[in-house]
Amino acid sequence: MKLDKVSIHKKYLCGVGVGPGDPKLLTLAAVETIKSADLVLAPTSAQDEPGRAEEIVRKAIGTIPVRRILFDMAKGESGIELRKSTALVAAKEIVTLLQPGERAAFLTIGDPNVFSTFNLLARSVASIDPTVEISSIPGIMAFQDLVSRSGMTLLDEEESLRLLVGLQVDDKIEEALKDSSSAVVIYKGGRNLPAIVELAKRAGRLADGWIGVKIGLEESEVTSLQNIGTGPVGYLSTIIFPPRRL
Ligand SMILES: C[S@@+](CC[C@H](N)C(=O)[O-])C[C@H]1O[C@@H](n2cnc3c(N)ncnc32)[C@H](O)[C@@H]1O
**pLDDT, average across residues 43-55:** 91
In tens, the pLDDT along 81-103 reads 888 888 999 999 999 999 999 99
- Number of the ligand 1 atom closest to the C-alpha atom of 112: 6
- pLDDT for 11 beyond 80: yes
Cα separation, 170 vs 227, whole angstroms: 24
- pLDDT for 63 beyond 70: yes
pLDDT category at 113 given cuts 50, 70, 90 is very high
Q: Please list the helix, strand and coil fractions of the chain in percent, rounded to the nearest 5, in that order.
A: 40, 20, 40
CATH number at residue 177: 3.30.950.10
- pLDDT for 238 beyond 90: yes
Q: Are residues 122 and 154 in the same domain?
A: no
Q: Are residues 37 and 52 in the same domain?
A: yes
In tens, the pLDDT along 200-231 reads 999 999 999 999 999 999 889 999 999 988 78
Can you point out the beta strands (E) in the chain? 12-17, 39-44, 67-70, 103-108, 133-137, 160-165, 182-187, 210-213, 221-224, 237-241
pLDDT category at 129 given cuts 50, 70, 90 is very high
- Classify 159 as helix, strand or coil: coil
Start-to-end C-alpha separation, the chain:
45
Residue 105 domain-assigned (yes or no): yes
Q: Are residues 132 and 159 in the same domain?
A: no
Q: Are residues 13 and 126 in the same domain?
A: yes
- pLDDT for 171 beyond 60: yes
What is the 19 CA–ligand 1 centroid distance (Å)?
A: 9
Structural domains counted in the chain: 2
What is the model's pLDDT at position 71? 82
What is the model's pLDDT at position 229? 81
- Number of the ligand 1 atom closest to the C-alpha atom of 111: 8
CB atoms within 10 A of CB 63: 9
Please choose from 161, 236, 240 the residue to mutate so as to test ligand 1's pocket, defined by most ligand atoms within 8 A of CB. Answer: 236
Residue nearest atom 4 of ligand 1, based on CA coordinates? 115
Give the torsion sign (CA, 88, 93, 96, 102): negative
- Number of the ligand 1 atom closest to the C-alpha atom of 21: 19
Please state, rounded to an integer, the average pLDDT across all residues of the chain.
93
Residue 54 domain-assigned (yes or no): yes
Q: Are residues 149 and 125 in the same domain?
A: no
- pLDDT for 1 beyond 80: no
Give the torsion sign (CA, 65, 118, 14, 30): positive
Residue nearest atom 21 of ligand 1, based on CA coordinates? 237
Long-range contacts at 197-200 (CB < 8 A, ≥ 24 apart): 197/225, 197/230, 199/169, 199/173, 199/174, 200/225, 200/241
CATH number at residue 10: 3.40.1010.10
Q: Are residues 129 and 14 in the same domain?
A: yes
Q: Which residue range(s) make up the domain with 51?
A: 3-137
Q: Tell me, using a 6 A CB cutoff, whether residue 137 lines ligand 1.
A: no
Residue 246 domain-assigned (yes or no): no
What is the 241 CA–ligand 1 centroid distance (Å)?
A: 16
Residue 222 domain-assigned (yes or no): yes
Q: Are residues 146 and 31 in the same domain?
A: no
CB atoms within 10 A of CB 213: 21
Q: Are residues 35 and 55 in the same domain?
A: yes
Q: Tell me, using a 6 A CB cutoff, whether residue 233 lines ligand 1.
A: no
What is the 20 CA–ligand 1 centroid distance (Å)?
A: 7
- pLDDT for 2 beyond 60: no
- pLDDT for 72 beyond 80: no
In tens, the pLDDT along 133-169 reads 999 999 999 999 999 999 999 999 999 999 999 999 9
Domain boundary among 137, 158, 191: 137
Domain boundary among 137, 172, 192: 137
Q: Are residues 108 and 48 in the same domain?
A: yes
Domain boundary among 111, 137, 163: 137
What is the model's pLDDT at position 79? 81
Q: Tell me, using a 6 A CB cutoff, whether residue 114 lines ligand 1.
A: yes
What is the model's pLDDT at position 112? 98
Q: Tell me, using a 6 A CB cutoff, whether residue 237 lines ligand 1.
A: yes
Quote the distance between the C-alpha of residue 200 and its chain's center.
24
